[in-house]
A = this chain, B = another copy of it.
């Protein structure tokens, strides 16, 4: 029989995830400053705690799902927080989306207190969480991963181990970067297309049939630059030419496209050196060169 789980933070994501734990038979004691949310979890079969300390004292596992770094810092490290009341040898899983420095500080504090720490921020949407179909990006030691796995499997369908403690947080940040900037990029493309008189269903169908929307990280990059192959396919010079066509059309339509303009500046610089004739996935190598970072490659077995 597993330990009681203290689930701290019952917001839009936390509540359905905690409810799934209850539903799958785990003993859960919940806490949230918002009493209504706590009541909702109790209705699902969990036990309520009157305070953070009360929740933690009963548990051998603590899961936190909190809005921002200061909340995590205070709940974990505060004078009446998790580490002040948790018995040694417990498991602490933080699912909040926060910055690496805070995660690293909490991981260090757990280590000093003899606790096992796992960072496991959540991918996908609230609706996935409700159906127990979340994705978790897990930063953990082998032992931490083994202990956390049954709980994560009760809340999600895809558990991706990203590396040691802190890797989950880092992966989440990079993944969100793709999703959010991708949303702005999509907004700009649809704005431009709409102003040019195109139908949004057509734009979606075309993008879905090319690498425009789903192919850079999943198809183009793995088949080119991530294998170390930057012989062109489609050169950075041609990509720059085509981007200029889009920006000229936007200019003629009196549109500002901030992300596209920024890309023009990046591609413009990349053309300055000997990248002009390489495959446009080599934008990665150019960005890495500028930053003094060894460009990442997929190992043959991974690709």
Contacts and interface: CB of A to CB of B under 8 A. Distances in A.
A208 B213 contact: no
Interface string A264-302: 111111111100100011011011101111111111001
A178 B173 contact: no
Contact of A258 (B98, B198, B263): B263
A264 to B, nearest CB: 5
Given A179-B212, A272-B254, A184 B291 contact: no
Interface residues of A, number: 125
Contacts of A170: 193, 196-198, 249
Interface of A: 68, 97-101, 123-126, 135, 137, 158, 160, 162-163, 167, 170-171, 173-218, 220-222, 226, 233-234, 239-252, 254-273, 276, 280-281, 283-284, 286-288, 290-299, 302-303
> Sorted from nearest, which 5 A-B pairs have the closest CB atoms?
A256-B269, A214-B214, A262-B262, A201-B302, A256-B268
B203 A213 contact: no
Contacts of A213: 178, 182, 214, 216-218
Nearest to A192: B174
